[in-house]
Structure 1
Amino acid sequence: MELDIKQIMERLPHRFPMLLVDRVIEMVPGKSIVAIKNVSMNEPFFAGHFPHHPVMPGVLIIEALAQAAALFSFEDNSVKPADKKMAYYLVGVDGARFRRPVVPGDQLRLEATADKISRSICRYNARATVDGQLVAEAKIMCAIRVLEE
């Protein structure tokens, strides 16, 4: 299963400058995902990180992985993070390692597999690569909260 940017925006509440997934190239609902983030010099964070040597912040790579994980975690569910009825929060990051800088022109391949998905907590094994080289990896945990109206 593949998703374009319009389909991603139907499923996630994030918008510029925080939407960090451009395309989904593989997805098995409830199990795994492979998504793409094209890193451009036009990203707003490069103005300050760093002006003479632009590097994508590691926390944003982790956020991109969490957004990708949200996409496959709710595909079989009628309620998705883009709905105003629920929120999907990144609540834990374990074992995060950053192997090399991500710079403008790189294409991040975001891979996440489910370790546990429940009604309230989801855990994933996640990794990001560029040109087949590992750039980041972590175990991430997200919480699902139903919002009061």
Structure 2
Amino acid sequence: MSNSDNYTSPVDMRDAIVQSPIEAWEYFDFPSTWVLKTNRDFSIELLNRYSREERETEQPEWASVFPNDTTYTNTARVLYRGAPFDEKNVLQLDEFRAIVVQPTRDRDTDEDEPDLHLTQYEAQLSHIMSGGHLSGGYFDSLNLQVK
């Protein structure tokens, strides 16, 4: 992926993010933004539309692997060349150390499979925004399927 690439559809843009290495994303603190170092046309930002108190919520059961149950809702906006092409509701978990896209409930699963899932794109966004905090078995312990 180079800066000269032109992406004409959201599907192409999502694929580019899925294929990007997690370590190729740089985090900027204020506002909370991640920028792809190998192609700065791509960025992800947390919107923080509401106060911290308004965003506080219960930790979902699927996220009980985290030692700290402090959980907040938020929205992540994904941009290409400064224009938004996607927004995802996310949960900030474990005192803000992990950010995971809110999973979708799958109605047609076997009893042995988790009934919550993320797409590969949503899982990649979660890894990028968590800056490596999901490695070391945390992500695999979340009782989510990646489809």
Q: Is TM > 0.5 for Structure 1 vs Structure 2?
A: no
Higher RCO (C-alpha 8 Å, min separation 6): 1
Structure with more of its chain in strand, by fraction: 1
TM, length-normalised to structure 2: 0.30
